[in-house]
Amino acid sequence: MPVTTQQLLQVIQTSENKIKVAESLVELAERAENNHMLQQLLRRITPPPPFNSLEYIKPGNRKGCWAKKPYWREHPTEAQLEARLRFSEVNYFLYGTKGTVQRPDGTQTGLVNHLAGQLMRSKKTLNEKKLAERKKQKIIEKMHFLKNNRICVY
């Protein structure tokens, strides 16, 4: 008797056996290939530990799979936070803008997206003092790494 999708989801929620949970996750990912609703459901669920660091992804026309969540998504760097803030400011400024823009390859994109891209590319988020400080910090980190691995030359 074949196992239903509902039963697989139940196994993920209740089972203590890690092998069964892993098998259920793989089976659900395979079933989601042609089922858009199941794909959306898998994107929203959080598997139980130790699988809670995984997320369901389906990039473009490729096969969907479970992949490790990027660390920076929940713990962004200072530069990523600055870029997100700048992005929100630019898009707030462009609120209400309507229209489309023709790209050189013949495709069209929204005017807001086009203008936001131009504004984001034209602005530097870091001043020269911060860049020099980061460069200095990277050199220190490299030296520390080399010292700990006993490869450094004095």
Rounded to an integer, the average pLDDT of 54-77 is 84
CA Rg value for the chain: 23
Separation of alpha carbons 43 and 40, rounded Å: 5
Between residues 142 and 6, which one has the greater pLDDT? 6
pLDDT digits (tens, 9 = 90+) for 10-57: 888 888 888 888 888 888 888 888 888 888 888 888 888 888 888 888
Going from N- to C-terminal start, the domains of the chain cover: 5-69, 78-123, 127-154
Largest Cα separation within the chain, whole Å, is 70
- pTM listed for this prediction: 0.53
Which pLDDT score is estimated for 154?
37
Q: Is the pLDDT of residue 78 over 60?
A: yes
Strand partners, 100: 110
Rounded to an integer, the average pLDDT of 68-77 is 85
Separation of alpha carbons 34 and 45, rounded Å: 18
When pLDDT is cut at 50, 70 and 90, the band that residue 108 belongs to is: very high
Tell the residue number behind the tokens 């042609």, with chain if given.
34
Rounded to an integer, the average pLDDT of 124-141 is 77
Which pLDDT score is estimated for 100?
92
Average pLDDT value for the chain: 82
